[in-house]
Structure 1
């Protein structure tokens, strides 16, 4: 592996900032999180619809397989709870033909419901020059479409180096962009959904990958930092794949092989920083294999119609970046509970 790839994989999230259409969005170090942790839990039936009316006694929470006491429990109606959606269009990691498919579908979504968004929504566009993003969310779909007209280039102008080295640059810029957007979202209250419309960025992982012990430690810390950044900002990440599974960037190797979280530096792999993996582990969804991009976006937004918020008080970790696997079970037949996969505790 080249030295540049190693620097990208273990340092990109720690860079100073990310270019936006409104100046620089700095990536400030995350403050120490409060002792109490909150989880958004989606509960669905076998048919995929939300399951409502459950009580706290129906839920069990496990922390590293050990029962964890639930401190608070609330069933939330998404239509009245503070919720924000960021719809990010990833031009940098897409081909022109992909963008030509996306554009009418994006307009279709923004102009649905007579142009009235279900939740305050922000439009962002990622190119190799940085992120152009609105300064504040809006529920005016027509206004959001006009913003997209301004931000989205009519002709793709990606001047990154082609091939392997161009892929290195896209990884770096993608992870910087993710950090910058989440830092901006963190400033606002409530639950946030980050819908990343993209085939995904390259992932340099596999048996031929070699990292020194120091690089493994730095990579593990970066994985932990990204995970905690999303959790503390209350951001759930969704991957909207405009290509579908047969054409995606993971066509030769499935992202599922990277889903198991590393619990120590020697287990860390760059694949854990893939968009699909980050989305799944945040409690979001990987949506694709469909030409109905507007429908996929709508499905992600519908995730907030009804959900449960539970909290717990974790014990202090024994070491830095100590991974804790979380699991929520519901004592009702035929239902599935989905939440973020875990957290990285600190002493």
Structure 2
């Protein structure tokens, strides 16, 4: 069948370790036994809201209210509550001219406020030859910019990049990279805001594509694996489409919305459930598009690291492996918008 090339279990994805230049092997942190949620609350003007209390929140697991195991309001990234912003430049799914424009916009972001960054920032370059972290996280925008200017982003060299099989190649490489990233970040404490600057990888779903039972199981395993890995690594994923107004009104900017609902079983899965934008929204992040202001979009995403709330609940007792549970957080105050992870997979 056409999708036999899809990679789709997390162990397969995690093949190319991503590490800072010093490449020290950090100790792995034990996964949180609770379901931990990073919750962003904003007002109607999209400004983050501080000062909320535990009693203002209600967490619903499959529409049933849950007791909060822990609660903490975070109003600034500190040594005790670190939040790292990771900018990922995608040269696999974007053309060289687009990546060049991205670089200029990122340079503007790093130079804001005289180079004094609000959060520790690191930059990852994703090409089809390798994936590398430029520097360790730093708040020194000037130092980061100097190192950034010395880095040459590789050209896309996938042989069949313009055809269907090239699309499969890009999908495979993208999924391996995000799997590797979650594996590495899970070794580090604290929350991570990963801003993936890319039009997204090919979704490869449509009326002409039929999946075998084996392919459905493979894709479902990857959906479960990535959802769990992102949650345990405390990653909130953001997608910024660098094509801006060129992409405005196109199918790419809205098609992913067909796959946002959580997948309960293999026979309900599609390849589109692994789209970048889908993973971003389901992790509690944003999928931004139709704007040429990449600098502003990065700033918009990174401000979610300034003010947010950490909540946790006990996981539900599952009746079978990989049982999907939808999550919803409600605020007992009118006019506020809440954004967090939309679900998780429980185990017996």
Q: TM-score, normalised by structure 1?
A: 0.91
Corresponding residue SS for 2:38: strand
Equivalent residue for 2:273? Answer: 272
Aligned counterpart, 2:103: 103
1:149, distance to aligned residue in structure 2 (A): 2.6
- Could you give the per-residue CA deviations for residues 86-132 of structure 1, whole angstroms, max 9, x where no partner exists? 11100111112212322211110111111122111111111110212
SS of residue matched to 2:207: coil
User: Mapping of 1:325-336 within 5 angstroms?
Assistant: 325-336=326-337
Residue 59 of structure 1 is matched in structure 2 by 57
Give 1:241 deviation, angstroms.
Answer: 1.0
* Alignment partners' CA distance in 2, 1:265 and 1:124: 33
**How many residues end up aligned between the 2 structures?**
339
Partner of 1:161: 160
Long gaps (5+) in structure 2: none
Q: Is the 8 A contact 2:74 2:310 kept in 1?
A: yes
**Structure 2 partner of 1:14:** 12
Counterpart contact for 1:13–1:226, Cα < 8 Å: no
Taking a change above 3 Å as real, the CA distance of residues 34 and 156 of structure 1, as seen in their structure-2 partners, is closer
SS of equivalent to 1:112:
helix
Residues 302 and 32 (structure 1), Cα distance of their counterparts in 2 relative to 1, 3 Å cut: closer
**Distance between the aligned counterparts of 2:255 and 2:298, measured in 1?**
22
Seen in structure 2, the aligned counterparts of structure 1 residues 185 and 212 have a Cα distance that, compared at 3 Å, is same
What is the match of residue 291 of structure 1? Answer: 292
Deviation at 1:305?
A: 1.4
**Structure 1 unmatched runs, 5+:** none
Q: Is the 8 A contact 1:160 1:169 kept in 2?
A: no
Tell me, in whole angstroms, the C-alpha distance in 1 between the residues paired with 2:257 and 2:138.
35
Inter-partner Cα distance in structure 1 for 2:213 and 2:158: 34
Shift of 1:288: 2.0
Conserved? CA contact 1:45–1:51, under 8 Å: yes
Deviation at 1:9, TM superposition (A): 4.3
In structure 2, distance between residues paired with 1:159 and 1:214:
27
C-alpha distance in structure 1 between counterparts of 2:211 and 2:29, whole Å: 29
Q: Give me the whole-angstrom Cα distance separating, in 1, the residues matched to 2:202 and 2:168.
A: 8
Q: 1:22 to 1:311 in 2, by over 3 A?
A: closer
Taking the aligned partners of 1:12 and 1:232, their CA distance within structure 2 comes to 13
CA deviation after TM superposition for structure 1 residue 40, in Å:
0.8
Question: How large is the RMSD of aligned CA atoms in angstroms?
Answer: 2.3
Residue in structure 2 matched with residue 175 of structure 1 by the alignment:
175
Query: What are the within-5 Å matches in structure 2 for residues 166-245 of structure 1?
Result: 166-244=166-244
How far apart are the structure 2 equivalents of 1:50 and 1:164?
42
**1:315 shift after superposition:** 2.8
